[in-house]
Amino acid sequence: MSAAPPACQLTDRVEIGQRPTFFVGAIPIYGDTILAPMAGFSDLPFRSICREMGSAISYSACITDLAVVHGGSRTTDQIADFSEAERPVALQLLGAGEDELLAAAERLMALRPDVIDLNLGCPARRVVGGGRGSALLRHPRLIGRLARRLVDALPVPVTAKIRLGWDEASRNYLEVARILEDSGIALIAVHGRTRSQQYSGRADWGAIAEVERAVSVPVVANGDVRSVEDIEAIKNATGCAAVMIGRGAIGNPWIFARRPIAEVGWTERLALIRRHALWMVAQYGERLGVVVFRKHIVRYIQGLPGASQMRPPLLACEGVGELFAALEAWSPQG
Ligand SMILES: Cc1cc2nc3c(=O)[nH]c(=O)nc-3n(C[C@H](O)[C@H](O)[C@H](O)COP(=O)(O)O)c2cc1C
């Protein structure tokens, strides 16, 4: 591990005269919307674009402790890669063993993140099979031990992202939130679903409100924010300091600027698509960058006239020049 970084690395983005919306430990946060961590989506280019639009913190996608400890994986390096302009940056870890988790977090400190976030919500079978992510919700005391080890050892604030519980019969979000707070966790993001719900059904904003009232650390509300109106609705329903937006931001980073997507015309969309695509090429190289960008492009054009006919040719593009030519030739009235 490299020399310990300063206790907290304050962002340069301090706006003169602007008051912080809330704090993560000693780190001031300006803004009340945050791009959710999303594996396969929330990489450096997309996070940076959302951050420019107003997303207040950059959360990396989840990183498995063992991948960090064993090192040498290009994918893990890409997930953990961030730019200075993104600060404050939270690197999110998946882990279930105290020693491995701490070892991974200490290694990540060499990258000088502002925050380490503990993932307690991932529902994927291979993740919960190893006891990580939402599997930990079944073991609240272990959550307490993991959180305490990280908080005691790391020179930056530690945060956590939870679901409401493992399943409907074991919704233990208040117990988990109180344990996290008692362990020194500086912020709790709550996705208002259980593990067994995966991504189906409605997120329970009422349960998130209960967490907000039960703890004194900032609580970030998450689940089913798809529009600018939803941002205010979830804030009103939960009383939370901030809102985390996942799927609703894919193809729509303007949501962080509180701009309704219907008001973003084609010229402006195309300009951002081009910029995003070029950033992907810079990040991953042209071949992989264009492939990874495919899942973004289908969402950028969603809902525009003729979008369904445009999908196949756009998805077939292998180079960025080809992609831009296809988009220029299309020009829907948006
Ligand atoms: C494709 C995808 C990948 C995700 N990856 C992560 C992840 O790496 N870490 C995490 O904490 N949550 C992850 N999530 C969950 C989101 O952060 C968020 O909690 C969930 O999508 C609900 O918010 P939404 O309704 O705004 O999408 C992922 C969700 C999706 C759809």
- Read off the tokens for 23: 């704090």
Question: What's the mean pLDDT when you consider all of the chain?
Answer: 94
- CA 205 to the chain's CA centroid: 19
> How does DSSP classify residue 189?
E
Instruction: Give the pair of three-digit tokens for residue 139.
Output: 């073991």
Would you state the pLDDT for residue 15? 55
Told to judge if 122 belongs to the known catalytic residues of this protein, a careful annotator would answer yes
Q: How confident is the model at residue 72 (pLDDT cuts 50, 70, 90)?
A: confident
Catalytic residue, from 62, 122, 240, 317: name it.
122
Average pLDDT over residues 118-131: 97
Task: Decide if pLDDT at 91 tops 90.
Answer: yes
Q: What are the tens digits of pLDDT across the range 262-321?
A: 999 999 999 999 999 999 999 999 999 999 999 999 999 999 999 999 999 999 999 999
**How many other CB atoms are found less than 10 A from the CB of residue 8?**
17
Averaged pLDDT for residues 116-128? 98
- The atom number, within ligand 1, closest to the CA of 193 reads 22
**How many whole angstroms from 223 Cα to the centroid of ligand 1?**
9
- Cα–Cα distance for residue pair 239/253, rounded to 1 Å: 24
Supply the pLDDT for residue 331.
Answer: 77
The whole-number average pLDDT for the span 112-120 is 98
What end-to-end distance do the CA atoms of the chain give, in Å? 51
pLDDT at 147: 98
Domains of the chain, earliest start first: 22-257 (3.20.20.70), 265-330 (1.10.1200.80)
- Closest-CA residue, ligand 1 atom 19, reads 191
Q: Can you say how many angstroms the Cα of residue 252 is from the centroid of all Cα atoms in its chain?
A: 15
Taking CA atoms only, the protein residue closest to ligand 1 atom 5 is: 38
The percent of residues in the chain predicted with pLDDT above 70, rounded, is: 94
Model-level pTM?
A: 0.94
254 neighbors 235 (Cβ within 8 angstroms):
no
Q: Ligand 1 center to residue 290 CA distance, Å?
A: 22
Collapsing DSSP to helix, strand or coil, 22 comes out as strand
Half-sphere exposure of 28 (CA within 13 A, CB side): 12
Residue 37 C-alpha to ligand 1 middle, in angstroms?
A: 6
Secondary structure of 125-148 as H, E, C letters: HHHHHCCCHHHHHHCHHHHHHHHH
Atom of ligand 1 nearest to the CA of 245: 26
Residue 276: predicted pLDDT: 98
9 has pLDDT over 60:
no
Q: How far is residue 242's CA from residue 20's CA, in Å, rounded to a whole number? A: 12
| pLDDT tens digits, one per residue of 172-229 | 999 999 999 999 999 999 999 999 999 999 999 999 999 999 999 999 999 999 999 9
Q: Check if 192 has its Cβ closer than 6 Å to any atom of ligand 1.
A: no
